Structures are given as structure tokens and as C-alpha cells.
Structure 1
Amino acid sequence: MVLSAENNNRLTSVGPGTEMGELLRRYWHPIAAESEIGERATKKVRLLGEDLVLFRNRKGGLGLIEERCPHRKVSLVYGIPEDDGIRCQYHGWCFRNDGQCTEQPNEPENSTFKNRVKITYYEVQAVGGLVFAYMGPKPAPELPKFDLFVEDNVIRTIGYQVIPCNWLQIMENSMDPTHLEWLHGRYFQHIFEKDGRPASDWPISKHHVKIGFDEFEYGIIKRRILEGQTEECEDWRIGHPVVFPTMLRVGDGGAHTFQIRVPVDDTHTLHFWYTCFVPKEGVEIPKDYPISLYECPLKDENGEFITDYIDGQDMMAWVTQGEIADRTTEKLGTSDKGIIMYRKMLMNEMKRVQEGEDPKCVIRDYEKAQFISLPQEENKYDEGELLTGVAKDWNTRYAPNIDEIIDICKGRKKVEEIKN
């Protein structure tokens, strides 16, 4: 499915009024870690080509509004949170969380001007340490609470990076199983050798014998069999869910991760790595255990891509395709059938939106949205290998408390000992 320039533009343009932008506005997108929005805090947000301000008012409520005050167009990033909204720092105009102007201090007391001024606002909700926004038509669908966001007795970490490329090439990477053996296998062996690390037993460098893709209720399941494996292996029997439209689920029994791709605009993507660490049996994690937030570096101090960890290798591959990959000249093979399947799904769901229907994975049943369990491998590697590996070869090595997390999950230390 080599794309024409027109269709490449249709699939990659996310601003207001574009076909893909209208599709993506039917979903809830994470825009920040909740820890970033403390008491009376503000944060500049750019989502789907729109500049916005996320804030918490004095009563604790979250709001998301357009960035510019309609009066003189200054940025409300520097606004003053009030009891039920935010006040412009320039002339004191006040706006509720729903965008309605409620006060204009220097206008006549009997003026009704404020009643006619309302700025754009969007709905926000917090779950699992993330703040989600919905920018589509009302009524908003339910915020789907996928299992990792609401599971008990886990330790959570949130990694992030703003990737300077279009969201689609990141998602298409998730529909490309065979890059595992090369980018994260053979190339990683090359990195190991340069660093003097043993590389001969690196398991993911094995050749792909078979790949498969199946549509399911929430997206696509991708499957693989490596040399020496059978269809009984979990990578085939269970597989990896790609949750439509912008999320990948990966992991093992010791650590489960959502990779969430949030389209900032046509040439930037906010990427979250949301990981839940599962402790060994008998270890209890308090509900108030802090969720660490950390940046996953893209380049080193010399401006070179950091490729000695798996997620850094992915980022290098995404970015070096260009800000927006040119799909008009690509040469797809049989191993790219997952990418073709995903593109067709995007095209179909854009059409459904144009016809006035809800697209795939939009949920309006409240009870159904409260806990959505997804397939997950549990024994891909043994626990020791995985929990040791995340501290070296995955993005979670940058979590400030990763050593503590591993000690707690393995039962070597109690949470109370670390807190004290």
C-alpha cells in the first residue's frame, strides 16, 4: 500500500478540520503527568496542532483552555488560578474551567460584555497519574480505563519525550515486528561489542519465522515466532496489542508497559512510556507509592542519538525517517503487511467519522470503560532477566528510583525501609 502524496497527507495531518485530526479528536489523549499540575499550577500544552493551557484551580479542579486571552492575546500560561477558573495576569479577565468569562475588572459594573466572551475549552480527566484531554464533539465518550492505569499493587513510572517527527511513523513501527531482530537484536549486538559486553546470547536477535496480525475489539494483535519457537510461545499465542489509534502494549510478567503516542502537531509527537512493575507474590505496594516522572533522552551532549537502549534505538529510527516520512517512494515487502493493515484501518475509521459514526475503540458504556483488560505475555523472559534488563537496556533505566523499584519487586527491600 504505497501512498500517494494526497493520502500521505491525509494520514499525517492532525490539525483542526483535517480528516485525521477529526478522527483523533474522537479519543482521549494523555497530555501531562498529574504530578506536573500541582496546587494552582499551569502548564503549556500543544495537542493536535492547538496551543492550550492546562491548569488546576484553587479548588483542585483541572481545566484546559486555549492559550491566548481573547482580550489582548497574551498567554494564559502565566495566568492566576482562581477558585473555579483562571484569571489573565494582564488585565484580570477571569475565565471558568468551561471557558466562560466571569469577570472584567475594568469594564463598567453593569456591563454584560463578559457574558458574550467565551474561550475554547476541552474536557480533562486524571487517571493512573496521567491527565487526559478530549477535544472532540460532545458528548464526550467514556475515558477507557485500560488495566495498567487502574491495577492495584504495582509500582508505576512515567517516561516521556517530545519526538521531532510525525506520530504515524512511530505507530507504524509498532506494526513492524521484524525490526526486533535487527534494530534491537543485531544492531544491539553491535553496540554490545563496541562496549565490551557479551552479545552472543541476546535472545531477540533470532530470525523471525512467522508473523501475524489479527483485528480485535480494541485494535490489532501482532504476533511473531522466532527461530526455535512454536505457536505455543506467548509472542504468538498471546501477542502484543496495538490499541487503536495510538497505543502499544508490551512487557512481561515483571513489567508491563503502554507506549502512548500523542500527536502534538504534524511534526512532533509527545511519547509516554507508562510502566507498571509487578512485585513478587506477597509483596504489598501502598496505594500512595509515588509515580516517578523522567525524561527519556533522545541525544547525547554531542547531539548524537543515544542508541545503547532499546527505546533510544526506536527513537533514532523514527526521527531519521524525516519529520514526515515520504511514503510515496517507499518499497514495502510481505513483512510489511501489518503496516498496510493499520493504514487501511485508519482510512476506514476516518470514513466512519465522516459518516457521523463513532470510530473503533470509542466507548460510551460507563461500566465497560471502568476496567479493560488487555492480553499480556507473562513468561517471555524469567523475572530476574527482565528486571535486570530494564535497568540497563530499556527507557526505565532513566527512572530516578529504578534500583529501589527492582529491590522492592524482588522482595529484597520493603517499601517502609526505603521511605525511611
Structure 2
Amino acid sequence: MLSKEQNEALTEVGAGKPMGELLRRYWHPIAISADVEKIGTIKKVKILDEALVLYRDKSNNLGLVADRCAHRGVSLEYAIPDECGLRCQYHGWLYDQTGQCVEQPNEPEDSTFKKRIKISGYEVKELGGLVFAYMGPAPAPELPNWDLFVQDNVIRTIGYAEIPCNWVQIMENSLDPTHLEWLHGHYFEHVFEQQGRPQNEWPITKRHLKIGFDEFEYGIIKRRVLEGQTEENEDWAVGHPIVFPNYLRVGDSGAHSFQIRVPIDDTHTLHFWYTCFVPAEGIKIPENYPISSYECPIYDENGKFVTDYIDGQDMMAWITQGPVADRSVERLGTSDKGIIMYRQMLKRELKKMQNGEDPKCTIRDPQQNQNIELPQEEDKFSEGGLLSGVAVHWNTRYAPNLIEIIDICKGEPVSSK
């Protein structure tokens, strides 16, 4: 268990808070590129407890600045995109991409007042269909070219949801292998039973014989051995990574995914499910194939959790721990060693940052950042193609184009299902 003060140190993400300052040393996705594709678009966002507006100006450049004009505090969500920045709709004050005020139309022409006016402004870049922001001290590190963001010949989809809980309890779920056999195994069978579906549809209700965790350059490798497996199986021999501080990598031979957890504030998290579908050998995906997006549902029409798909089950488990999990009353067991390892890593990297060092996964060398390949098992749970098969098909009522994507990747005629 953790004390109240220790828990706050890990979970509070505002500026000036220890974890908030650590997270500001990283690039975070804040939007899907398609949402701000049109010139003149303004999108209100809140990241790391800061209210901001993301915009595309008339020169087709993206900017990210504070939501409030420094003059009278009006929201810039309704501002006027200019040739090189954003102009407040109230009195015309113009801010450039750094947040510096560069024009004040009703002030004297020789006034230097504008030079003393600045709101927050942050670097933004696009990569792989996402818009990323860096909110930390200069100089910014490299925006990591993780393999899924730059991989050729794949079809990409992006799921998203705003989760009403703290980001750490979402990440800790990723360091908890044994919930697979219960939340996504036995519980799934229970859901099938309640729905009158055959219970033999789900192949992953297998007992964990062994779990393991190893630190590597970019985070932690999670490993497992299930009943019927040996350490020669890829689930153990290769495993899959948790990329520090807030990515999970999952997948199989047909689809590789990132789950990315971006803190909105202490009690809300912007979650992305970023998936690359890999075509069968000989199938060529057009370079301009559109990136589709979909919202992952949390609640049904009655306000109950939607728990008949894996991501919905996870969200139910994250959210029902409370807006911020109270770790002062938890009772961790031997199966929670991955969670303990992750917390120790967070504390260690906090100390490094406080000592003026770059924390883990900070990339400065452009040569290192060409295409960062991450380890990934292909034969998931020894079921081969599980996540691109039954699990993905089970999600198709939330993302209907997934069946079509799978058919394209297999080189089959587009399904009418």
C-alpha cells in the first residue's frame, strides 16, 4: 500500500506537481489529425490539467495555446484563425504559435504593450494520424517514431474515449497479467452465459502458471506462461512491452496496437486505441488509405457499463476503482509484482528528473529515432491471430469498418456482413 502523500505524488498531473512535471518531459497525443484537418479548425482540449485550444491557422500550421485571452479572459475556442496564429474574437488580439501577443489593434501603434503579453503556447507535431504536444522545458526531445506510427503497408484505425479516472490505475492494469484469465476469461464466459451464447467461444480462460517482468531500454517487458504453454511460447520468450511512461503495446500476427493513456487532469484520461492491421503477404495497401476513427463506448443507454467486449471490461475495472484509486487501503499479492515494479520506475524517473537528468524514454538523437522497433509476440496466447480474429470481430458493432479492414488485409472481397 501507499500513503496518501505517496499516492498523490504518483497521480497528480498539474503543473508544479512531481508527476505533472515528469509527464511534461514527453510528447503526448492530444487529438486525431482528421479532427483538425480543415484550415480554420479550432478544437478545445485539456491535457495535464491545462485548458488549451488546438487550431490550424490559414497557413495550414497547427498551434496549441492557452484557452483564455490575456486581455479579458474570453475563451479562444471561438477565436479567428489568422495567417500566422489565432486572433481573439473579442478585441482582435493576435497570438502566435508560442502564445506571444503580436498585435493589439486598438492600442497605440507605437505601444510596446503587446511585447509584455504572452499566454502558454506549446509545440505540436503530427505523426501517424495523431497530433502530439510537448509541454515541457526546451529543448524538446525527439517525437518518438515508434514502429506503429511509421510502419508502411498497414491499415490504421484509432479508437478513443474519455475515461473518468486517473491515468495511473489504467497503466497499472497493463502490469497485471492475471486479470486476463478472470476479467477477459471467466467474466467473459459469465457475460456469454447471461446473453445465452455458447461458452466455448472464448479461448483464453487459462490459468497463469508463471508471470515475469524485465526492464528494457524503453520500459518493461511483460511475460506469461499459460496452461498448456512452456517458456518457449512467444508469450514468455518475446512478451510484449509497456512503453514508459504511458503506452501499452499489444497484438498478434494480424494486428498490432498501442493503448495510450494521456492524463486530462487528476480524474480523467484521454485514451487512444491505435491499431495497425497487417495485410497478408502480397497485399499492398495504398499509401493514402484513410485512417478511420471510432469512439469506444463506456456506458449503455441505461448508464450501465458495456462489458461484452474487452476494452469495455477494462474500462469498467479502471473506473470502479474510483476517480483516483485509494492505494492506502489496497492489499497487493505476489501476482502484483509488475505493478510494484512500475511504481518503483515512476519514483526512480521522478528523482532523475528532479536531479536535472532526462528520464527514461527521452530520445535526443535523431539517428536513434528513425524507426524504433519494439518487441511483440505474434502468436498471441498460442491461439494465432486471436486479436485480429474473434476479439476484433466482437468489437465490430462499435467499429463496423473493422470487418471490412480484415477482409482487405486478407485480400478477400469486402464483406457484406
Question: Above 0.5 in TM-score?
Answer: yes
Distance 1:221 1:386 in 2: 19
- Aligned position for 1:33: 32
- Note the C-alpha offset of 1:54: 0.5
Matched, 1:261 2:249: no
- Note the C-alpha offset of 1:280: 0.6
**Structure-2 change in CA distance of 1:382 and 1:183 (3 Å):** closer
- Aligned position for 1:199: 199
Distance 1:378 1:222 in 2: 14
Q: Could you say what secondary structure the match of 1:223 adopts?
A: strand
CA RMSD of aligned residues (A): 1.5
Distance 1:127 1:397 in 2: 28
- Aligned position for 2:126: 126
In the TM superposition, 1:303-318 aligns within 5 A as: 303-318=303-318
Matched, 1:163 2:163: yes
Distance 1:248 1:384 in 2: 19
Instruction: Report if aligned partners of 1:391, 1:397 keep a CA contact under 8 Å in 2.
Output: no
Distance 1:190 1:263 in 2: 32
Distance 2:389 2:196 in 1: 18
- Note the C-alpha offset of 1:59: 1.0
Distance 2:390 2:203 in 1: 12
- Aligned position for 1:412: 412
Distance 1:365 1:109 in 2: 45
Instruction: Report if aligned partners of 1:292, 1:400 keep a CA contact under 8 Å in 2.
Output: no
- Aligned position for 1:96: 96
Q: Which amino acid aligns with 1:35?
A: A
- Note the C-alpha offset of 1:392: 3.4
Distance 2:67 2:290 in 1: 30
- Note the C-alpha offset of 1:106: 1.1
- Note the C-alpha offset of 1:200: 2.9
Distance 2:148 2:328 in 1: 37
- Note the C-alpha offset of 1:253: 0.7
- Note the C-alpha offset of 1:379: 2.1
- Note the C-alpha offset of 1:116: 1.7
- Aligned position for 1:5: 4
Instruction: Report if aligned partners of 1:292, 1:399 keep a CA contact under 8 Å in 2.
Output: no
TM-score normalised by L of structure 1: 0.96
**Paired residues, what number?**
414
Gaps of 5+ in 1: none
- Note the C-alpha offset of 1:316: 0.1
- Aligned position for 2:299: 299
- Aligned position for 1:392: 393
Q: Could you tell which deviates more after superposition, 188-197 or 159-168?
A: 188-197
Distance 1:231 1:382 in 2: 16
Instruction: Report if aligned partners of 1:309, 1:392 keep a CA contact under 8 Å in 2.
Output: no
Distance 1:64 1:253 in 2: 37
Q: Which amino acid aligns with 2:237?
A: R
In the TM superposition, 1:16-415 aligns within 5 A as: 16-38=15-37, 39-200=39-200, 202-380=202-380, 385-394=386-395, 398-413=398-413
TM-score normalised by L of structure 2: 0.97
| Percent identical | 68
- Note the C-alpha offset of 1:193: 1.5
- Note the C-alpha offset of 1:385: 4.8
Instruction: Report if aligned partners of 2:221, 2:240 keep a CA contact under 8 Å in 1.
Output: yes
Q: Deviations over 1:54-96 (max 9, x none)?
A: 0111111111001100001011111111111011111111111
Instruction: Report if aligned partners of 1:252, 1:379 keep a CA contact under 8 Å in 2.
Output: yes
Gaps of 5+ in 2: none
Q: Which amino acid aligns with 2:25?
A: R
- Note the C-alpha offset of 1:348: 0.4
Distance 1:392 1:303 in 2: 24
Q: Could you say what secondary structure the match of 2:343 adopts?
A: helix
Q: Could you say what secondary structure the match of 1:262 adopts?
A: strand
Instruction: Report if aligned partners of 2:22, 2:353 keep a CA contact under 8 Å in 1.
Output: yes
Q: Which amino acid aligns with 1:401?
A: N
Q: Which amino acid aligns with 1:110?
A: D
- Note the C-alpha offset of 1:387: 3.1
Distance 2:116 2:386 in 1: 62
Instruction: Report if aligned partners of 1:390, 1:397 keep a CA contact under 8 Å in 2.
Output: no
